[in-house]
Amino acid sequence: MADIEVEVLVIGWGKGGKTLAGALGRQGRTIALVEQSESMYGGGCINIACVPTKDLVHSAAERRPGDDPQTWFTDAVAGRDDLTARLRARNHAMLADVDAVTLIDGRARFVGPHEVEVTAGSDLLHIRAGSIVINTGTVPATPAIAGASESARVYDSTTIQHVEPLPERLLIVGGGYVGLEFAGMFAHFGSQVTVVDHGERLMRHEDRDVADTVQALLEESGVEFVLDADVERIEDEPDAATVVVATADDIRRLTVDAVLVATGRKPTTDGLDLEAAGIAVDDRGFVVVDDRLQTSVPGVFAVGDINGGPQFTYISLDDHRIVLDQLAGNGQRSRADRVAVPSTVFLTPPLARVGMNETQARESGRDVLVASKRIADIAAMPRPKIVGDTHGLIKVLVDPHTDLILGATVFSIDAQEVINLLALAMRAGVTATNLRDGIWTHPSSTEALNEVLAGLRPTAVAPSAP
């Protein structure tokens, strides 16, 4: 067994961990970064999550009616793999080129508050560190569905990206954001997609008009929804799988070629032996941290999805800033500084939101002005017509007393960009009038704000239907 001692040990090569390792290493601090899988160099985002899935979403949307589904899908997966390989190599080089950073392949487990053992085959390495950063992320959660673990036709959000052949009939368990992204993607690739969700309606955390618009878009793409339903069991047949679905009215037996289980994610803490270090976890298994991301053990931090916060790469990036401030700054930065954090579901077109939605604003009891308009009806926004996609809507909520933005939903092409502008406006105190009267490039999606915000109207006091 070899021994090394470093100033900072990072376990897991996610966005927060790798960025922190690079920043501290370039300052001359001695850093060790441990990763158990070569296929995860650079973290989950570039290898199995954000980047490859959005690459597939884009490829699927580009398929024309006459293009062979299987050939198009095979080529899209090859392109996805080439992209992730290049990004993985680039991410490895970015840290390998920093002299103060030692990259270690192996599986880490705590043996004390600031001591870790790393196993790689028969090799064993003992590492002591003044500070340790846990950055091991999450993996897909597996619900207790009879037959699911035994079925050769059941996939999760990672393995479905390499399904072979392209399923002619795909059933997705779960109508959350991940499930809907894959539903749209595979429908555009040419699969017949059915989504089963236990909710009485889709997207329960969104306003009803937004959820209905999303559902209508996906149904237009050929997606079928079975709501207020649960998958009871999955039975493999020689050439297909039978999925038994219990609805409010009856039992349905659906024959499909593949099943994607998209019912959430769980923390990757198995094998870390957190209890050996005295590191506390919550009832879901996520590492408990304070607002400065320190765990129950002083000097041990948790960044990214593993700490139970919002599971976004940009949150992990901000986590690195908080820990970097603890280790090399004045220690004042915290999660409490986060204001108006946007999110995007990459449908085609994307659905993005920041701040309150209309239901939340009404239930808060405050006075609210609402502007809402279908993309197809926005005359001053020709870009969607130019690119041939006029689906969606834009909805903005404004405080009538301050003229400040309370929240916004953008369901449109370029939504992932427009929402960043609205989030910045909320953080910087830019008024709705400023945005309404802004001078924007043409033709662009941003210029829709001129017309949409000109239609601000008071909203009713009673909350909208759940």
Q: Mind listing the pLDDT tens digit for each residue in 92-105?
A: 999 999 999 999 99
The per-residue DSSP string of 57-118 comes to HHHHHH--TTS-HHHHHHHHHHHHHHHHHHHHHHHHHHHHT-TTEEEEESEEEEEETTEEEE
With cut-offs at 50, 70 and 90, classify the pLDDT of residue 459: confident
Q: Collapsing DSSP states into helix, strand and coil, what is residue 73?
A: helix
Residue % of the chain over a pLDDT of 90 = 96
Q: Collapsing DSSP states into helix, strand and coil, what is residue 51?
A: helix
**What is the set of domains in the chain, with CATH numbers?**
2-140+266-337 (3.50.50.60), 154-263 (3.50.50.60), 343-458 (3.30.390.30)
Structure tokens at 228: 């207020």
Q: In this model, does residue 464 exceed pLDDT 70?
A: no
pLDDT of residue 461: 47
What are the C-alpha distances in Å from 22 to residues 16, 169, 327, 369? 10, 45, 13, 45
pLDDT of residue 460: 55
What secondary structure letter does DSSP report for 337? G
Task: Give, in degrees to the nearest 5, the angle at Cα 316 between 312 and 318.
Answer: 115
For tokens 């919550």, the residue is 282
Q: In this model, does residue 463 exceed pLDDT 50?
A: no
For tokens 């990757």, the residue is 268
Q: In this model, does residue 248 exceed pLDDT 80?
A: yes
pLDDT of residue 293: 98
What is the distance between the alpha carbons of residues 265 and 450, in angstroms, rounded to a whole number? 40
What are the C-alpha distances in Å from 104 to residues 9, 33, 381? 10, 6, 51
Structure tokens at 119: 């196993």
What is the distance between the alpha carbons of residues 55 and 65, in angstroms, rounded to a whole number? 19
Which stretches of 207-286 are DSSP H helices?
A: 208-220, 274-277
Q: How confident is the prediction for the chain on average, in pLDDT?
A: 96
Q: Are 459 and 368 in contact, with CB atoms under 8 Å apart? A: yes
What is the distance between the alpha carbons of residues 344 and 337, in angstroms, rounded to a whole number? 21
442 catalytic? Reply is: yes
With cut-offs at 50, 70 and 90, classify the pLDDT of residue 2: confident
pLDDT of residue 253: 98
Cα 362 to chain centroid, rounded: 27
Q: In this model, does residue 462 exceed pLDDT 50?
A: no
**Pairing of the two strands 393-398 and 405-411:** antiparallel
Average pLDDT over residues 345-354: 98
Q: Please write the tens of the pLDDT for every residue from 395-414.
A: 999 999 999 999 999 999 99
Average pLDDT over residues 165-175: 98
Q: Please write the tens of the pLDDT for every residue from 119-148.
A: 999 999 999 999 999 999 999 998 999 999
3-state helix, strand, coil in the chain (%, to 5): 35, 25, 40
For tokens 């705590």, the residue is 110
Q: Does a cis peptide bond (omega within 30 degrees of 0) precede residue 443?
A: yes
Q: Collapsing DSSP states into helix, strand and coil, what is residue 462?
A: coil
For tokens 């680039």, the residue is 90
Structure tokens at 421: 């502008």
pTM, whole model, 2 decimals? 0.95
Q: Does a cis peptide bond (omega within 30 degrees of 0) precede residue 143?
A: no
Instruction: Provide the residue count of the chain.
Output: 466
Please give the torsion angle defined by the CA atoms of residues 207, 316, 415 and 177, in that order, rounded to the nearest 10 degrees.
-50
Q: What amino acid occupies position 206?
A: E
Structure tokens at 191: 């699969």
What is the distance between the alpha carbons of residues 294 and 308, in angstroms, rounded to a whole number? 13
Structure tokens at 295: 């765990």
Q: Please write the tens of the pLDDT for every residue from 280-327.
A: 999 999 999 999 999 999 999 999 999 999 999 999 999 999 999 999
User: Among 228, 465, 219, which Cα is nearest to 357's?
Assistant: 465
What is the distance between the alpha carbons of residues 433 and 7, in angstroms, rounded to a whole number? 51
With cut-offs at 50, 70 and 90, classify the pLDDT of residue 1: low
Q: In this model, does residue 384 exceed pLDDT 70?
A: yes
User: Of these residues, 92, 198, 391, 442, which one is catalytic?
Assistant: 442
- Torsional sign, CA 138, 140, 145, 150: negative
User: Among 218, 16, 53, which Cα is nearest to 137's?
Assistant: 16
Q: Are 138 and 17 in contact, with CB atoms under 8 Å apart? A: no
Q: What amino acid occupies position 333?
A: R
For tokens 């441990």, the residue is 34
